[in-house]
Structure 1
Amino acid sequence: MKIRGHTTPVLAVPLALAAVTLLGMGAREAFAQAPGMGAPPSKVEITIKDRQHGYETMGLTMPSHETTIVVRNLNTVTHGFASRLFKDLPVRMEGGTEVRGKNFTSFHVEPGKTLTLHFATAPSNFDPATGGAESIRHALWCDIHPEVKGELYVIETRGEIGGG
């Protein structure tokens, strides 16, 4: 009887240490995956083939997240890549030329060239009363050819994959 009574506390200590260790590891993993905390940047790829089809956009980004946009101009003329999204954000540019408008910032990319933009998206408008936040759609356009247009989505997600 004494052995059985003594065995429970002896096993309880290693089990408690294992549980604390597992909980600690889970917290570190969740923290490391938080947006902006060392996660790889979101990547959006945009291709401009001609003036009739506008921007072909692949990818998305999230609020408060490092983002890389790669714009490939496959056309034979220079195109602009403009949006109000860039007006108040610090953007690091590789290739291209920056053009500041009154209410927007544009980046011009020569024919056959690639422009890469690096920036962090703005935080979302999270409503603690409802627990929701809205995804944001940003218009994109060519300030040289107004018929060339597109959209960039900044998708808000909460909780695990699939929302929640």
Structure 2
Amino acid sequence: MTISIANPLPALPRAADPVNSRLIIVGCCPRKRVTRHPVPALDLYDEGCIPPLRARLGTNPRLRNRIRILSARHGLVHADTPLLAYDQALDADTAARLRPAVTAALADDLAATGTPCEVLAIVEPLYLVPIADLLTTGARVHWVPDYFTGWPEASAVLDSWSWT
């Protein structure tokens, strides 16, 4: 698979706001909450870095608004996007197929909120494929590649942002 990086995302002025100038993207996980009704994405996923992320930021609406989840089935979703549990792992073909939709979702998001100065990406390496165009925005990307044991590293970035 060949990956080329164009510049489809806008390079908008960065917000000075310490919350709106930052963004978290976290990969989905296999274990999900059992539910018959859709629940917010941040509340659906139940392993890896998502439970401690939810515990730390999930009750603060302003911070929660800056969390996106990269789903193997749904692409890039907001923390409060209602979802049902599903079973789909990310493979190379799916990652490549998701990239245009994820890039479009990011472009819409950045058009509405501005390009972040910093992004915390808590994603396994394959999840970088759908968000590759984010690297063209000029945002400083903090990458935590170990979704399951990388919470201390992710938490340190949040500490540096004073996000509690």
- Same structural fold, with TM-score higher than 0.5 when normalized by the shorter chain: no
Q: TM-score, normalised by structure 1?
A: 0.25
Q: Which structure carries more strand by proportion?
A: 1
Structure ID, larger Rg: 1
Q: Which structure features the higher share of helix residues?
A: 2
TM norm structure 2 = 0.25
The one of the two structures with greater contact order (alpha-carbon pairs below 8 A, sep at least 6) is: 2
